[in-house]
Amino acid sequence: MANLNELSQQDFDALAQDVRQRYEDLKAKNLNLDLTRGKPSSEQLDFSNDLLALPGKDNYRTKSGVDVRNYGGLDGIADIREIWAEVLGVPVENLIAGDSSSLNIMFDLISFAFAFGTNDSPRPWREEETVKWLCPVPGYDRHFAITEQFGFEMITVPMTEDGPDVAAVEKLVQDPQVKGMWCVPLFGNPTGVVYSRETIERLAGLEAAAPDFRIIWDNAYAVHTLTDVFPDNPNVIDIAAAQGNPNRFWYMSSTSKITHAGSGVSFFASSVENLDWYRSIANIRGIGPNKENQLAHAMLLGDAEGVRALMRKHAGSLAPKFAAVIGILRERLGGYGVAEWTEPQGGYFISLNVVPGTATRVWELAKDAGINLTKAGSAFPHGVDPENTNIRLAPSLPPLDEVSEAMDGVATCVLLAAVEKRELQ
């Protein structure tokens, strides 16, 4: 195959005819396939079905004797905190366990800072003329939705193979209105990029003009490998403290894509000072998280090795789907010069860049053929991809044969949109 734009008119016309025929055939199948969200599949959820009957009748005490059925315990129970401290490699006193959603905690952190200011803020963020927030792109739509909700000005930072363009970040944080940054450091959503050690060190050491500059370190894929290799999880709390920025990181994690997506346990790790600030408001917001669910998780997982054993099962289920997506992209699109994609070693997503200007059209063609893709642009603030090139692929939810069928269809749509674009030129 040669680059589509370099084909002779005759070859191009033949290709165009073939692609149109394929698209008609695709539509005739009346598919109903969904690659929109990073949801675990039924098969993956089954791995943790023991949870549905845990902690088990008459099991309601933690190792230290706390009755998990009653009120109390804002930090969560030691049993699950100790396991997760081991998973992340942070001291247990730097980590608290919450309800099911770390996204809830991220929203609350920003909401508390907005209403009341952080422990390092000269004033509540709502009293700032403008709050600016750094958004590596492509990134996670639900992150951007939070900073949009609070009216922050979102400044995009390009992703590289080593993480966000840290030189750009170093310049941007000289503006005291820049109060924070979204980061997914491991197997990031949607690129799958793993931040390099150098990037992490430089983010920890950033000389930010705002004394209350915070990095939301959403380590959502801390153990979510697609191979036999588990990635390092650098202790950014220590790394930042060593560089004189002990309160820099709000470090998030959860079991959502480890046990059951909607009923997991979330974690928030940070400096003791940051945790004390969070507690001072969270303690007004309520009494504490669901400790029965935490005990159930501690019993299911056992220890960090138990977590890794479970993650190997997930890898066994997910890796063939990722391999299928990448195989089809290579086979159908390789050489035409109409697409580039990431080939991640972990996480939940593949980031696909199609011919600039055609992502929305690809999404539309796929939709008309019964294949739902995440909306084009969704990995950018306000849902606007300035190049209209990026599509996030989420292959986890459907069974393998549907992933393959959907991706073959997506490849056809990518080609057809590229053909249409050349025809208009």
Sites of contact with its own copies (CB under 8 A): 37, 39-40, 42, 45, 48-60, 67-73, 99-101, 103-104, 107-108, 111, 114-116, 126, 142, 145-146, 149-150, 256, 260-263, 281, 284-293
Residue with tokens 């996030």: 392
CB 240 within 8 Å of CB 204: yes
Considering beta carbons, is residue 152 or 336 the nearer one to its own copies?
Answer: 152
* Residues whose CB falls within 8 Å of the CB of residue 284, separated by 6 or more in sequence, listed in order: none
- Smallest gap from residue 399 Cβ to its own copies (A): 14
Considering beta carbons, is residue 167 or 287 the nearer one to its own copies?
Answer: 287
Residue with tokens 């073959």: 408
- Smallest gap from residue 285 Cβ to its own copies (A): 4
Considering beta carbons, is residue 73 or 188 the nearer one to its own copies?
Answer: 73
Sheet of 214-218, strand order: 95-97, 266-269, 249-254, 214-218, 178-183, 132-137, 153-160, 163-164
Considering beta carbons, is residue 286 or 316 the nearer one to its own copies?
Answer: 286
Q: How far is CA 169 from CA 58, 100, 200, 208, 235, in A?
A: 53, 32, 12, 10, 21
Here the tokens at position 229 are: 């290799």
Considering beta carbons, is residue 111 or 360 the nearer one to its own copies?
Answer: 111
- Smallest gap from residue 419 Cβ to its own copies (A): 36
- Smallest gap from residue 180 Cβ to its own copies (A): 16
Residue with tokens 């580039």: 340
- Smallest gap from residue 75 Cβ to its own copies (A): 13
Considering beta carbons, is residue 145 or 168 the nearer one to its own copies?
Answer: 145
- Smallest gap from residue 291 Cβ to its own copies (A): 5
- Smallest gap from residue 219 Cβ to its own copies (A): 17
Considering beta carbons, is residue 44 or 388 the nearer one to its own copies?
Answer: 44
* Residues whose CB falls within 8 Å of the CB of residue 422, separated by 6 or more in sequence, listed in order: 4, 5, 12
- Smallest gap from residue 328 Cβ to its own copies (A): 25
- Smallest gap from residue 333 Cβ to its own copies (A): 30
Considering beta carbons, is residue 45 or 241 the nearer one to its own copies?
Answer: 45
Considering beta carbons, is residue 50 or 161 the nearer one to its own copies?
Answer: 50
- Smallest gap from residue 150 Cβ to its own copies (A): 7
Considering beta carbons, is residue 203 or 403 the nearer one to its own copies?
Answer: 403
